[in-house]
Amino acid sequence: MKRLPAVIYLPFAFALAKVLLHFATAATLGFHRDEFLYLALGRHLDWGFWSNPPFIGFVAWVSQNLLGDSLFATRVIPALCGGGLVLLTGLMVRDLGGGRFAQALCGTAMLFSIAWLRAFSMLQPVPFDVFFWALLSFGLLKWLQTNDTRWWWFVGTVAGIGFLNKYTLVFWAAALLAALLLTPQRRVLATRAPWLAAGIALIILSPNLVWQWHYNFPVVHHMEELARNQLDNVQPVHFLLDQFLFHGPGTLLWLAGLIFLLRAPAMRPYRLLGWFYVALLLIFLALNGKSYYTLGAYPVLFSAGAVWWERFLKNVWLRAGLVVLIVSLALPLFPTGIPVWRPERLVQYFGNLTDKGIVAVRWEDGALHPLPQDYADMLGWAELAAQVYKADALAGGQLYLIYGENYGQAGAVEYYFRKNGKRSTAVSFADSYRLWAPDSLPPEVQTLIYINDDDPGEDVQALFADIQLVGRIENPLAREYGTGVWLCRSPRSDVAAFWAERVGMVKAVFRK
């Protein structure tokens, strides 16, 4: 009973602080482009989408129907999930034998981690992915601790739900298999427990597999697009460097935790968890995975590292000094994890970091920019919607089609039009929007409001005789800087026939 405050109240306190921190900074910038897509998924509930399993759509549906669709409301559930992660990590500290100091140390490092700040600051699959992976680590830890194979039922259930959130869980399964083969726990593979867990996961996942089959496995096409456009830019050196930059001074915990799990005799029963991380890192290095794909493997390392530091540091002043060191090193890096200032001050801050050799503004294209890509993706959307409003006024009541070249453009227009009471639907051939694009247009549609970061292509210029540039996004810090809105009128040929041909080509990919 004496340990109750240390193992229960401390994790709850840090979890609450985590949630309140995200609440306080939720509206510093604007919506992220991906959030517009996920909100749209919540309005088109299904058992699958082009690049995502169905879970994030379900979360978006719950969020919009229970909390509303304001910027703050959209970010409530991810913030609560972040608090849940901190609480769960504290519970793993307890199960690894940690006491009050280990709980406080782990909570502090988790609270100030750059990666956990960024991941839980917006609506996206990543925070739920990290939480599910942490739940899986918790289940494996309980199994290793108790040898009760019923924990595999828990693992199978969580894995199935996790697959419905992000397909990268297949790499978790591969790394777990490798770790099992490297440790004495390989004996469990000769029992029914892990195979029953796999069966449970498969049953939970099966509706999405049926959906994938029905739509000719869009995930395969999405992965091909991802490999061409993003993964080719991933460099192993940057991947490895990011693993040390993700958590700032929290690296003192996870690195110690990894070595503790792999080397300490006291951690021999839990060595599987250390080999799991090693196997996962090698898998993603071999496949050019994105740096953040590994995030779900770190919570248990934080927990183990906190336990090691507690055993290593016996002096109360040295313990206090370590906590102060983590906070003092993390505070200057805080804005890299969460936008605590307005854009102009953030530009100055990141410029100073880059001058000091700390690069936090490298985008997926491999180049350096004034702001991190996630922050630049939160700018310019209201400005884009304002230009579309102008095009709407210039259309003079004519029935028109709004087309965005990417889902951020289409989603932003849909969001702001709906918030202003306008009934208009934007379409796109990007990501899941291609699933919802109408197969045909009414013959009355003779006008196009076209959104693109480049001038209209030859096909649009050939179709319309009157193409007027309405305006562009002028915020140089926005990732969409320069994106234009064109009002296209006076068609030279049948707009409906042109659309039917184009949408037929796009949908041919997922039609059997």
* Model confidence pLDDT, tens digit, residues 51-85: 999 999 999 999 999 999 999 999 999 999 999 99
111 pLDDT above the threshold of 80? yes
At 172 the pLDDT is 96
H helix intervals, 120-235 = 125-146, 151-163, 169-181, 193-214, 218-229
- pLDDT per residue over 302-325, tens digit each? 999 999 999 999 999 999 999 999
Q: What are phi and psi of 470, to 5 degrees?
A: -85, -40
The Cα–Cα gap between 505 and 494 comes to: 17
Tell me, rounded to whole angstroms, the distance of Cα 338 from its chain centroid: 14
Residue 6 confidence (pLDDT) above 50: no
3-state secondary structure 412-472: HHHHHHHHCCCCCCEECCCCCHHHHCCCCCCCCCCEEEEEECCCCCHHHHHHEEEEEEEEE
Distance CA 271, CA 274 (A): 5
pLDDT value of residue 218 = 87
**Angle of CA points 25, 30, 32, to nearest 5°:** 105
Q: Residues with Cβ < 8 Å from 118, sequence gap 6 or more?
A: 336, 337, 338, 374
Residues β-bridged to residue 489: 466
**Phi and psi, residue 468, nearest 5°:** -120, 125
Q: Structural domain boundaries of the chain?
A: 4-337, 343-376, 381-510
pTM of model > 0.85: yes
DSSP codes, 230-281: TGGG--HHHHHHHHHHTTGGGHHHHHHHHHHHHH-GGGGGGHHHHHHHHHHH
Residues 435/436/442/447 CA torsion (nearest 10 deg): -90
Q: 502, 460 in Cβ contact below 8 A? A: no
Long-range contacts of range 2-10, CB-CB < 8 Å, 24 or more positions apart? 3/99, 3/100, 5/100, 6/99, 6/100, 6/103, 7/90, 7/91, 7/93, 7/94, 7/103, 10/90, 10/100, 10/103, 10/104, 10/107
Strands lying side by side in the sheet with 464-472: 426-427, 400-404, 447-452, 484-491, 464-472
Mean pLDDT of 109-113: 94
Please state, for a pLDDT cut of 90, what percent of the chain lies above it. 81
Encoding tokens for residue 491?
């068609």
> Given the structure tokens 């096909």, which residue do they identify?
459
* 3-state class percentages of the chain: helix first, strand second, coil last, to nearest 5: 65, 5, 25
For 368-398, give the secondary structure using H, E and C. Answer: ECCCCHHHHCCCCHHHHHHHHHHHHHHCCCC
Q: Residue 403 and residue 413: Cα distance in Å, rounded? A: 10
User: Is pLDDT above 70 for 429?
Assistant: yes
Q: Could you report the per-residue pLDDT of 439-470, keeping only the tens digit for each?
A: 999 989 999 999 998 888 899 999 999 999 99
